[in-house]
C-alpha cells in the first residue's frame, strides 16, 4: 500500500521535470492522501488526468478492451482521447513482439487533447506486450501484468533472457502481477466451455480490473456484451462473469490498495457521443447529402486505414447512400466522377498509395470541373510503408502531386470529431465551386476517438445546389462571376446535351481547343477559381498573443499535441501563440500577415517539413521545423522542448 | 425526394418528336483519317439511335483515350471523353448513380483491353447496364502504330520492327470468360448487321459487349480484308441467327458441326446438312466454341449475337437493396443518426 501511493506521488514529482505532467493530484489532496495513508486500507484518490495502455496479442482483443474502457469513460463525462496501435498483420503468430496490439487512452477531468506521450498504467497481457510497450511507460508508472503470459515459451518468443517479472529489472515501476489466464479459467470453471473459448474471455478480466481501479461502472459494457453475443447466451454469461471477476479481484485482493477517481470534465452542455474520425467523416458526408439533397455516392477500394469509411457508409443505405467497392483505386475515383456528372454528391476514400493511383483521375476532375470529394487517410509511407500507423507526409502530394497545373482545394481536420465538420466543409466547397476537394485525414484521426458534442441537424447549414435546366444561352464552361464555378448540367436535362472531357476546353463553350492563348487563360482561370475560395473560408485565427516571439503553426492531427505543449509552456509564464490551419489550399487570406507578426515560426509535423516548405515558399518566412516521422503522433514533450529551444536560441 | 429526381420529374419519358439521323450529329468536325472504319460505325450508331425511342437527353456516350474515344464528341447527346482505359469505370459510376440514363461506351482494343482491361472484366462480371462498343483495329492508332493486345503474332508495327511476339486476346472469349451476359460481334463494313447488333444491345439489360472489327487504314490497313473483300467475304463470314444452323459460303454450301468439342467444316453439297450446329444464343458453351472459331485456321469468323442471357443488372440490385433497407429501417433521418445509439447528456 505504501509503495503504491508513494510511487504515484513520487512519480508526480518526477513528471514535473518531464514534458508532460501525468496524474496530477492537487496539493491539498496530496496532503490528505499522505495523512490518511496509515488509516485507510482501500482509498480513492482523485486525479486530474491519466493515460492507460492495454497491450496484448493481436488475438487478445485489446482494441475491444480499449474501446470499451474508452466509451464507458466518455459516457461518465470525462474528456478522452484514444490511440489504437495495432500491427498490419491480422493474426501474427501468438506471443511474438510483432503481433502485439495496443490501445492507449488518456482521460481526464479537464480538457484532453492527446492520447498521452507516455502512459501511467500499462496492462500487459504477455511478455511480448511488455517488451514492446515498456518504452511508452513513464518512470514509476504502473504495470498490471498477466503472469500467465510469461511462461518459457512467451519469454523465448519475446527474446527475454530471464523473466522480467522476477529478475528485478522492473523495479522502477509499480508492478502488479496476476495470472489472468488462471483467474479467467477458474471464473468459468463450472461452465463447461471449451478451453479456447474460455481463454478468449480474459481481456474482460483485465477490463474488470481497470474498471475497479478507475472506478468505472460495468453496466455499459455488460449491455454491450449482451448485444454483441445475443445469439450465444453462453458467451454473454462467460464474458459478463469474467468482467465481474476482474472487478471483484481489484476490490478484494491485497495487491491494490488504492483506486482512482477522475471527475467528469467541464464539457459544454449537450448531447455527446463517442466517435472515431472515420465514423465522423462518413456521417459528415451523410449530413452533407441530406443538406444538399444530393444522393451520396462512394466509390472506394479497400485500403487501411480508410476502409472503415466504406464500411460505415455501407451501413446507412436507408439514406439512399450508394457504396461501390470498385475493382481498384482508379475505378473507385472514376466511377465517382461518372456519378458526379450524373448529379450525385460523389466521394472516393483512400490512403496514400491509393491517392497516388488516383492522380490522373484527379486531373480529369479538375478539367471537368465537377464536385468530387477525395479523402486521403494518410499512413506511414512511402509505398506500402506502415499501413496501420499515422503520418502527415501526403501534404505535398495533395497540394501539388499531379501532372501539369491541377489546383485542388485541400483541407484537413484537427481531431477525430472534427472529421464530421471537415467532410461537410469539403462538400460545401466542392458543390459551390464545382471542383474536386481533397481532405487529408490520417491514421490517428481515423481510428482515434473522442467525445463529440453532437450538432442539432437544424444547426447545419443547407448546401444549396442548382442544376442548370435553362437551355437558353447554355454554355458548359460559362462561369459564375463570383465563384467562377461552371454550371452543373446533368444528363436527362433536355436541351443541355454537351460533351466534357480531359482535353483542354475552350473558355465558355467547353469545346476542345488547342489554342495557346486559350490554354494559358484556362490554366490561370482554374488556379484563380481555387484561389478565390480563400475569400470564403475563415481567417487564420491565432490562439494566444497576436504577435510575439514565437508562433507554433500546425495542421491536421498534431493539433492536440501542439495545443497541450503550448499550454504547458504558457503555464510557466512564457507567451507562445498557436495557429492551426484547417484550410491548406488555398490558405486563409491573412496567413502571411499573421506569420509576419512573429519573430519565430515553429512548425511541428509528422513529415520532413512539408507545411514548412509551403509557408516558406509562399511567404518567405524562415520557418523552423520539428519533424519526427515515427508512424506515431508527435509527443507533447518534444514540442514543448522545441519551443523552449527555439526561444532560447535568440538569433 | 432528392434533387436529381425532382429535376428529372419535368423531363419527358419519350422523345417529343421522332428523331432523324442528323439529330444525333453534333456540331463538331469529325477528325478521323479519311477512310477510317470509325466513320461507318458512327453513321450506323446515328442511324440506330432514332429508332430506340429514347429522349436524346437521356443518352450518354462515355469513352477513354484513342481514336475510337473521340466518338462522344460527334454524337449530339451527353458525353464524357475520359482518361485512358477508364471509360467502363466512369460509365459504371454514372449508370449506378442514374439508372434512368442509357449509357454507352466507345472504346478500342488498346483502351479497353490493355490499360483498361481490369475495368472491362469487372464490368462484365457485375453486369452493370452499360453498352460497350469495342472498336477492334488490332493496333494503336492515335499514338501512331504500336501493336495492341489484339495485334496478331508476328505483326510488324512501330514498336515491333522485327515482329510482334505477344499473343493476342480474343475479346469475345475474354468477355464470355468474365461472365458477360451479352456478347456480339460485327464489322465496320457490315452496316446492316452492325445496326442490328446495336439495336439488340440497346434492348438488353445488363452489360452488353459488341466487338466491332474496324479498319485502321493508316496503321493496319486490311487487317480484316478476308472478311471485307468481296471475293473472300462469304467464305470467311458466318452470320449468326438464333435457331438457325451454322451455314455460310458463296452458295450457302458450307456448314459447321461438332466433332466432340471441336468444330468441323462440313461441305453441305457432299455430306448434306445433317448434324450442323444450330445457333442458340442462350448456350454458354456454344458461345465459347463460336468465339474460338476466330483463331482456327480455315474457319469463318462469326458475326451477330453469340450469347445473350437475361440477368438482373447491377444497378437495379443496388437500388433494390437500398429500397429494402429503407423499408425495414425507414427512410434515413439525420437527427436519429446523430442522436441515436450510445449518447449521453451533459448538463450544467
Ligand atoms: S489512325 Fe487509324 S484508327 Fe485512327 S483515325 Fe486514323 S485510320 Fe482511324
The interface pTM score, or ipTM, of the predicted complex is: 0.97
d(CA B249, CA B227): 12
d(CA A441, CA A378): 6
Give residue B113 CA to ligand 1 midpoint distance, Å: 18
Name B257's Cβ contacts closer than 8 Å, sequence gap at least 6: B263, B264, B266, B275, B276, B277
Residue whose CA is at the smallest distance from ligand 1 atom 3: B216
How many contacts (CB atoms, under 8 Å) link A and B?
A: 234
CA A638, A640, A642: angle at the middle one, nearest 5?
A: 70
Q: Mind listing the pLDDT tens digit for each residue in B228-280? A: 999 999 999 999 999 999 999 999 999 999 999 999 999 998 989 889 999 99
Give mean pLDDT, residues B96-109. 98
Q: Has residue A461 got a pLDDT over 90?
A: yes
A39-261 against A272-459: fold identical: no
Closest CA to A596 of A579, A584, A613, A611: A579
Residue of A nearest to B77 (CA): A497
The ligand 1 site (C-beta within 6 Å) comprises: B 32-33, 36, 38, 67, 137, 141, 216-219
Residue B74 dihedral angles phi and psi, to the nearest 5°: -100, -5
Share of chain A above pLDDT 70, in %: 93
CATH, domain range A272-459: 3.40.50.970
Domain locations in chain A?
39-261, 272-459, 548-649
Interstrand relation of B262-267 and B254-259 (parallel, antiparallel or unpaired): antiparallel
The per-residue pLDDT for A650 is 63
Tell me if the domain spanning A548-649 has CATH number 3.30.70.380.
no
Q: Has residue A524 got a pLDDT over 80?
A: yes
Burial classification of residue A313, based on how many CB atoms lie within 10 Å of its CB (0-12 exposed, 13-18 middle, 19 or more buried): buried
Name A129's Cβ contacts closer than 8 Å, sequence gap at least 6: A55, A56, A57, A100, A102, A149
Interface test with A, best of B9, B80, B100 (most A CBs within 10 A): B80
Tell me which H or E stretch contains A549. Answer: strand A548-555
The per-residue pLDDT for A21 is 36
Residue A91 — pLDDT band, cuts 50, 70, 90? confident
Domain locations in chain B?
21-223
d(CA B53, CA A642): 72
Q: Mind listing the pLDDT tens digit for each residue in A528-554? A: 999 999 999 999 999 999 999 999 999
Helices (H), A273-318: 277-292, 307-314
Of A203-217, A565-579, B11-25, the least confident: B11-25
d(CA A295, CA A317): 11
The residue to mutate among B36, B63, B68, B69, having the most atoms of ligand 1 within 8 angstroms of its beta carbon, is: B36
Q: Mind listing the pLDDT tens digit for each residue in A378-426? A: 999 999 999 999 999 999 999 999 999 999 999 999 999 999 999 999 9
**Residue B65 with chain A: CB contacts under 8 Å:** 502
Give mean pLDDT, residues A156-160. 95
Torsion, Cα A283 A285 A288 A294, to 10 degrees, reads: -130
Most confident of A29-33, B6-10, B95-99: B95-99
Full strand arrangement of the beta sheet holding A598-605 = A577-581, A548-555, A598-605, A624-627
Closest CA to A200 of A91, A82, A52: A91
Interface of B with A in 69-128 (CB under 8 A): 72-73, 76-84, 86, 89-98, 100-101, 118-119, 122
Q: What radius of gyration, in Å, describes the C-alpha atoms of chain B?
A: 23
d(CA A3, CA A70): 28
3-state secondary structure A340-393: HHCCCEEEEEECHHHHHHCHHHHHHHHHHCCCEEEEEEECECCCCCECCCCCCC
Give mean pLDDT, residues A634-647. 97
* Total-model pTM: 0.92
The per-residue pLDDT for B16 is 82
CA A372, A375, A376: angle at the middle one, nearest 5?
A: 140
The per-residue pLDDT for A41 is 58
Q: Assess A317–B contact: CB distance below 8 Å, yes or no.
A: yes
Q: Mind listing the pLDDT tens digit for each residue in A296-353? A: 999 999 999 999 999 999 999 999 999 999 999 999 999 999 999 999 999 999 999 9
Of A2-11, A276-285, B200-209, the least confident: A2-11
Look up the CATH architecture of domain A39-261.
3-Layer(aba) Sandwich (3.40)
Residue A452 dihedral angles phi and psi, to the nearest 5°: -130, 125
Q: Do you know the residue count of chain A?
A: 651
Q: What radius of gyration, in Å, describes the C-alpha atoms of chain A?
A: 27
CATH superfamily assigned to domain B21-223: Thiamin diphosphate (ThDP)-binding fold, Pyr/PP domains (3.40.50.970)
8 Å CB contact of B98 and A467: no
d(CA B221, CA A473): 44
d(CA B96, CA B103): 10
Residue whose CA is at the smallest distance from ligand 1 atom 8: B36
Q: Assess B28–A contact: CB distance below 8 Å, yes or no.
A: yes
Q: Mind listing the pLDDT tens digit for each residue in A579-590? A: 999 999 999 999
Q: Assess A491–B contact: CB distance below 8 Å, yes or no.
A: yes
The per-residue pLDDT for A43 is 81
Amino acid at each position: 500500500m505504501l509503495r503504491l501511493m508513494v510511487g504515484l506521488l513520487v512519480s508526480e514529482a518526477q513528471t514535473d521535470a518531464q514534458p508532460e505532467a501525468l496524474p496530477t493530484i492537487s496539493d491539498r489532496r496530496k496532503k490528505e492522501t499522505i495523512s490518511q495513508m496509515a488509516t485507510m486500507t482501500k482509498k480513492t484518490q482523485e486525479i486530474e488526468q491519466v493515460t492507460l495502455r492495454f497491450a496484448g496479442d493481436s488475438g487478445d482483443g485489446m482494441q475491444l478492451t480499449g474501446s470499451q474502457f474508452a466509451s464507458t469513460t466518455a459516457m461518465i463525462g470525462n474528456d478522452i482521447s484514444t490511440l489504437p496501435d495495432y500491427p498490419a498483420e491480422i493474426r501474427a503468430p501468438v506471443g511474438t513482439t510483432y503481433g502485439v496490439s495496443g490501445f492507449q487512452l488518456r482521460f481526464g477531468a479537464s480538457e484532453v487533447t492527446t492520447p498521452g506521450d507516455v502512459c501511467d498504467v500499462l496492462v500487459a497481457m504477455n511478455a511480448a506486450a511488455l517488451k514492446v510497450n515498456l518504452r511508452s511507460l513513464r518512470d514509476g508508472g504502473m504495470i498490471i501484468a498477466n503472469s500467465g503470459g510469461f511462461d518459457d515459451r512467451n519469454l523465448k518468443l519475446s527474446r527475454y533472457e530471464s523473466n522480467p517479472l522476477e529478475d528485478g529489472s522492473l523495479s522502477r515501476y509499480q508492478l502488479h502481477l496476476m495470472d489472468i489466464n488462471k483467474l479467467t479459467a477458474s471464473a468459468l470453471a463450472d461452465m463447461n466451455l471449451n478451453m479456447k473459448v474460455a481463454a478468449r474471455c480474459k481481456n474482460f478480466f483485465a477490463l474488470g480490473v481497470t474498471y475497479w481501479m478507475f472506478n468505472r461502472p460495468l453496466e455499459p459494457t455488460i449491455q454491450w456484451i449482451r448485444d454483441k453475443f445475443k445469439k450465444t447466451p453462453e458467451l454473454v454469461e462467460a464474458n459478463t462473469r469474467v468482467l465481474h471477476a476482474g472487478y471483484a479481484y481489484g476490490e478484494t485482493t491485497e495487491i491494490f490498495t488504492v483506486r482512482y477517481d477522475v471527475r467528469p470534465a467541464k464539457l459544454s452542455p449537450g448531447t455527446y457521443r463517442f466517435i472515431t474520425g472515420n465514423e465522423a467523416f462518413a456521417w459528415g458526408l451523410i449530413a452533407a447529402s441530406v443538406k444538399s439533397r444530393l444522393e451520396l455516392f462512394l466509390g472506394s477500394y479497400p485500403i487501411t486505414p480508410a476502409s472503415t469509411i466504406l464500411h460505415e457508409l455501407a451501413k446507412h443505405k436507408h439514406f439512399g447512400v450508394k457504396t461501390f467497392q470498385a475493382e481498384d483505386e482508379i475505378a473507385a475515383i472514376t466511377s465517382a466522377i461518372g456519378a458526379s456528372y450524373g448529379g450525385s454528391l460523389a466521394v472516393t476514400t483512400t490512403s496514400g498509395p491509393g491517392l497516388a493511383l488516383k492522380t490522373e483521375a484527379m486531373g480529369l476532375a479538375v478539367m471537368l470541373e465537377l464536385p468530387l470529394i477525395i479523402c486521403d487517410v494518410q499512413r506511414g509511407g512511402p509505398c506500402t510503408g506502415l499501413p496501420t500507423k499515422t503520418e502527415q507526409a501526403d501534404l505535398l502530394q495533395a497540394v501539388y502531386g499531379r501532372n501539369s497545373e491541377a489546383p485542388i482545394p485541400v483541407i484537413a481536420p484537427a481531431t477525430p470529431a472534427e472529421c464530421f465538420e471537415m467532410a461537410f466543409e469539403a462538400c460545401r466547397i466542392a458543390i459551390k465551386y464545382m471542383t474536386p476537394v481533397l481532405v487529408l485525414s490520417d491514421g490517428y484521426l481515423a481510428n482515434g476517438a473522442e467525445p463529440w458534442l453532437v450538432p442539432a441537424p437544424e444547426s447545419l447549414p443547407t448546401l444549396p445546389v442548382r442544376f442548370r435546366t435553362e437551355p437558353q444561352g447554355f454554355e458548359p464552361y460559362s462561369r459564375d462571376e463570383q465563384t467562377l464555378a461552371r454550371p452543373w448540367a446533368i444528363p436527362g436535362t433536355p436541351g443541355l446535351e454537351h460533351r466534357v472531357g480531359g482535353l483542354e476546353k475552350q473558355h465558355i463553350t467547353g469545346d476542345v481547343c488547342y489554342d495557346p492563348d486559350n490554354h494559358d487563360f484556362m490554366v490561370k482561370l482554374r488556379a484563380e477559381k481555387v484561389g478565390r475560395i480563400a475569400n470564403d473560408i475563415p481567417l487564420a485565427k491565432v490562439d494566444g498573443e497576436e504577435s510575439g516571439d514565437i508562433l507554433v503553426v500546425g495542421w491536421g492531427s498534431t493539433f492536440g499535441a501542439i495545443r497541450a505543449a503550448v499550454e504547458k509552456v504558457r503555464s510557466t509564464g512564457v507567451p507562445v501563440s498557436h495557429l492551426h490551419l484547417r484550410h491548406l489550399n488555398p490558405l486563409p487570406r491573412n496567413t502571411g500577415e499573421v506569420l509576419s507578426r512573429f519573430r519565430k515560426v515553429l512548425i511541428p509535423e509528422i513529415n520532413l517539413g512539408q507545411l514548412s516548405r509551403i509557408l516558406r515558399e509562399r511567404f518567405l518566412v524562415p520557418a523552423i521545423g520539428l519533424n519526427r516521422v515515427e508512424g506515431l503522433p508527435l509527443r507533447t514533450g518534444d514540442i514543448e522542448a522545441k519551443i523552449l529551444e527555439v526561444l532560447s536560441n535568440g538569433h | 425526394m432528392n434533387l436529381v429526381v425532382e429535376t428529372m420529374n419535368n423531363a419527358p419519358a419519350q422523345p417529343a418528336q421522332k428523331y432523324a439521323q442528323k439529330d444525333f450529329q453534333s456540331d463538331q468536325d469529325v477528325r478521323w483519317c479519311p477512310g477510317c472504319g470509325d466513320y461507318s460505325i458512327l453513321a450506323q450508331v446515328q442511324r440506330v439511335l432514332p429508332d430506340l425511342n429514347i429522349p436524346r437527353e437521356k443518352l450518354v456516350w462515355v469513352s477513354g483515350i484513342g481514336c475510337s474515344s473521340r466518338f462522344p464528341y460527334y454524337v449530339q447527346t451527353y458525353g464524357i471523353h475520359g482518361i485512358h482505359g477508364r471509360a467502363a469505370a466512369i460509365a459504371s459510376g454514372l449508370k449506378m448513380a442514374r439508372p434512368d440514363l442509357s449509357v454507352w461506351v466507345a472504346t478500342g482494343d488498346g483502351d479497353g483491353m490493355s490499360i483498361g482491361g481490369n475495368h472491362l472484366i469487372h464490368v462484365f462480371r457485375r453486369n452493370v447496364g452499360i453498352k460497350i462498343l469495342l472498336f477492334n483495329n488490332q493496333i494503336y492508332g492515335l499514338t501512331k502504330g504500336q501493336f495492341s493486345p489484339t495485334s496478331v503474332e508476328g505483326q510488324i508495327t512501330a514498336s515491333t520492327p522485327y515482329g510482334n511476339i505477344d499473343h493476342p486476346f480474343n475479346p469475345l472469349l475474354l468477355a464470355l470468360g468474365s461472365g458477360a451476359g451479352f456478347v456480339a460481334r460485327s464489322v465496320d463494313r457490315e452496316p446492316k448487321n452492325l445496326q442490328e447488333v446495336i439495336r439488340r444491345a440497346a434492348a438488353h439489360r445488363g452489360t452488353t459487349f459488341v466487338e466491332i472489327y474496324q479498319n485502321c487504314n493508316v496503321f493496319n490497313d486490311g487487317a480484316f480484308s478476308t472478311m471485307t473483300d468481296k471475293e473472300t467475304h462469304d467464305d470467311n463470314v458466318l452470320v449468326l441467327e438464333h435457331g438457325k444452323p451454322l451455314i455460310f459460303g458463296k452458295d450457302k454450301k458450307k456448314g459447321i458441326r461438332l466433332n466432340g468439342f471441336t468444330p468441323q467444316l462440313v461441305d453441305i453439297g457432299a455430306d448434306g446438312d445433317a448434324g450442323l450446329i444450330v445457333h442458340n444464343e442462350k448456350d454458354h458453351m456454344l458461345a465459347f466454341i463460336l468465339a474460338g472459331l476466330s483463331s482456327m485456321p480455315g474457319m469463318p469468323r462469326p458475326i451477330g449475337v453469340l450469347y445473350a442471357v437475361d440477368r438482373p443488372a447491377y444497378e437495379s440490385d443496388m437500388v433494390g437493396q437500398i429500397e429494402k433497407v429503407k423499408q425495414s429501417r425507414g427512410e434515413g433521418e439525420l437527427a436519429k443518426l446523430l442522436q441515436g445509439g450510445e449518447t449521453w447528456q451533459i448538463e450544467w
